[in-house]
Amino acid sequence: MRHLRKPVTFVAVGLAIAAAVAGGLYWLLRPGDGSGPPKAAIVDQASLSQANPSFVQKATSTLEQAGYVVDYYPGGQVTVDFYRELPTRGYDLLVLRTHSGLVREGDQENEAFLFTSEPYSQTEYVDDQQARRLIMATYDTTSGVSVELSELSRYFGIVAEFVKSAMKGRFDDTTIILMGCNGLTSNTLAKAFVERGAKQVASWDGLVSASHTDAAAERLLEHLLVEGLSLEEAVARTMAEVGPDPTYQSKLLSYPPGD
């Protein structure tokens, strides 16, 4: 039997909503040949602990009004293999309402990760764990502070290397918006999505509360889909309206800059 190295433990410190949005009016700017209606998905991993049906309803309405066919995936469906197959599903816009945080190794926290809802097991996905494409994730949904949690509170998390070398297929010039904690504290995860075919990535540069990022995501979708702004313009407009997170002062950014 192969032996795993001691898994890296880390704590998610907020809520991530990742969205892939074809910036601007979709009939004008939709990637590819533009045939058929664009497709969107809301992937609501965070619904297991911080459900917000109002956000889902409003986001779905905005997407449908812009002409998107919308799929909804509740938290329990957000497994390792769900992420693995995600680029092959052909979505023009992805809203990943997903807990996220920073990988912690020793005293360093830098690379962002996304939670799955799949309980962690040392004997599953052994190759991915050995290659550090998957890591063990724990989180405290009430305070965001690292605490000692039970085995049942540990889940698989995906990092940039998973996006680069374990996902199947490619995103088709998609704009991905990682709207949770630390997605752009560094650009490691965002860069991995761009290398996998995404057009641009937006996320917060620090901690963000669920209520604040949900409010920001609603405004961001409206600016992108209703007003037809570029991602960079939509991020700036959203920040002017909702401001930094009132508790953590994190800001919404885009990567790479420019369209």
Indicate whether 115 belongs to any domain: yes
Is 213 domain-assigned?
yes
pLDDT higher than 70, residue 204: yes
Q: Is 168 part of any domain?
A: yes
Q: Does the residue 74 lie in any domain?
A: yes
CB distance 172 to 199 below 8 Å: no
pLDDT tens figures, 43-74 = 999 898 889 999 999 999 999 999 999 999 99
Q: What are 74-123's pLDDT values in tens digits?
A: 999 999 999 999 999 988 888 889 989 999 776 666 799 999 999 999 99
4 assigned to some structural domain: no
- In the chain, the number of structural domains is 1
Inside any domain, residue 122: yes
Q: Binning pLDDT at 50, 70 and 90, where does residue 138 land? A: confident
**Domain for residue 1, yes or no?**
no
Q: What is the pLDDT of residue 253?
A: 93
Question: What per-residue string of b and e applies to 89-119 under the rule 16 or more CB within 10 Å gives b?
Answer: eebbbbbbbbbbbbbbeeeebebbbbbbbbe
Range of the domain at 170: 9-255
pLDDT of residue 10: 42
- pTM given for the model: 0.83
2 in a structural domain: no
